[in-house]
Amino acid sequence: MITPQQTETIENHSLPINENLLSVVHLKPIEGFADKLNKFGVQHTKNAGNILFAQYEKMNSIYVIQSGLVALEIISTMGETKTIGICPPGVILGEVGLFSDYISTSQSRVLFKSKINVLSIKRMGNKLLEDSDIVLLLFRSLSSKLQLSTNQLGIMMLETLQARIAHILLECNKERVFLTHETLSTIIGASRISVTRHLREMQEQGIIQTQRGSILIINRNALKKLIV
């Protein structure tokens, strides 16, 4: 669950940032897709905290985010909530339900007051699939999400530990990143000792400077080269 610790402006909103939000997928809208779908649905205004769809719920609707901000979250069997995706205006959710009886593996929660256009798959599905332009946009949307997820998997599982550290620091898009060594090790799935060793090496190279409870980025270009 996102809880306020520090803030970063995304889509003109003050978005709380914590260790659960640093390695999430930031979904991007497909140009022209939202405009194509908006004429088919019904607009709803949702307040912060409202759930668009629940985890393990069958996807019966398509959701077009017109304004505001929405998070995708997963809830563990222990009740812990983790943010896995951030959806700005223009992003479409639930479109995979057009092609199969899809059961969502995540829940969608509104972060800020948002306008959401909701399309019933049962009522509008066939009509949408009859439009070749919409079908093409659907596949582009699904392909984009698959690519983002694959890239994220590569960051967290296939790259070197040093590259994963660099990715997390760069994703924060700040000069000073408020992360402890222990929190950083939890995010990337490595031991605290290993993370501390790599951070020390990066500091000796003049790339970063570690401070109590934070990491100061000294040379962003050198940090980027670690993930090439």
Which pLDDT score, from 0 to 100, does residue 9 have? Answer: 38
Nearest Cα to Cα of residue 9 among 224, 213, 184, 174: 174
Architecture of domain 160-225: Orthogonal Bundle (1.10)
Residue 168: per-residue pLDDT: 78
**0.75 cut: is pTM over it?**
no
Number of other residues whose CB lies within 10 A of the CB of residue 173: 12
pLDDT value of residue 5: 38
H helix count then E strand count, the chain: 7, 12
Spatial distance between the Cα atoms of 89 and 113, rounded to a whole number of angstroms: 12
Domain boundaries, the chain: 6-157, 160-225
CATH ID of 6-157, from 1.10.10.1100, 2.60.120.10, 2.70.170.10, 2.60.40.10: 2.60.120.10
Supply the pLDDT for residue 190.
77
| The predicted structure's pLDDT at residue 26 | 74
Residue 209 CA to its chain's centroid (Å):
28
Helix H or strand E encompassing 108: strand 107-120
pLDDT at residue 82 in the model: 75
pLDDT of residue 148: 67
User: CA-CA-CA-CA torsion for 216, 220, 222, 226, nearest 10 degrees?
Assistant: 90
How high is the pLDDT of residue 11? 40
Residues of the chain with pLDDT under 50: 1-22
